[in-house]
Structure 1
């Protein structure tokens, strides 16, 4: 429920967006059966012109929540935020994930209580490189290290940083008071979901209080910085595009 006079923390700017949960409207891309959810980030955010080059959305589990794969040229990462999902007889618990390469047909279902975060991105093939294979894993087993030597800012890498992968999905966990060491400005774009905690994000020339359940889109070259605040750690999961020629504007 929003506050009085149509208030919301959501902001959509030319090079970034903050999508707060108070404005979520149900709706999912095709292929998820009768599941409910909400599209958080998509190329439609800016009419496809200079906007996001991927989709990020939430899926709520329930009867009829079944998918069999994205479009033929699209890769997908599914991260279980809560509850469980079933992948062809295997159970995915909270903080488990699965990466599906393009063309990977499968059956993934999620019962009541499941909450999934999904990233869809067109795969950009490279001559001489085979696309990655399906990959499952867990946050608990992901390679994790202090970010630039800061043990209060731990970065977990879910997917291998290899040339065959043109996307990365990582989980950043900050102790209260920890921050990025400098304002980052880079060619990669981001899609981010706050898993827990709170803090302040600088996006462009603006500063936003953020909390669990918030979503952020950052365009390429959007100046960005974060500090964790409050009495508990803050954690977010985020996507970025990697390993491809920035001169290729076809995707």
Structure 2
């Protein structure tokens, strides 16, 4: 057994012990049977997260960490084809378990954002846009993170609506697609919820969890994943950033997205 495996088992064992201790000795003997045979709650959501070449890693995985904790929920990574799909830096890949041809209904659709390469590629991909429109027809919620809102807009879903996006894409979202941009962490417009850049997807997912399962559950999920942001710098809001910092931020993004690391994998 490797050290990492031992650590995982220790953590799982500690968590199980804590749960059983809280539930009481009488429940301990039946915990396994109850878990094994429990049916998913009525209306348990099927969440589908679209992956495409060049997406930003936290855009799909941050919300997935939240939404997968909803009682009975299933979260599926979906792409044009099954298999590994690489991020904007090309260093990391996430596996899509289903292709778009295999999915015809979703309760929740989430479209992540990307750098220029990924966003423009998705915005010009007729197959992806058509699939997004079809999922939206029947979805309970259609959501995006970062420049994923540009992809929703390219699919024709945001015209005349309010939305947010990555701060550097706000002007383009408004001028090209007739969207009213709001500089907020997340914006709801009917059944569409858009999130601002990258990390805002976690905030949006908690809001969505509240809409789906109620505030108590959403609060409990937030505690479960210990989401209590306390960054060392107060520089994450574009509204408070000067031109020099914005330029540096965009330069760093561009450099990371054009690096050759992992490109031969």
TM-score after normalising by structure 2:
0.28
Greater share of helix: 2
Answer with 1 or 2: which has the greater Rg.
Answer: 2
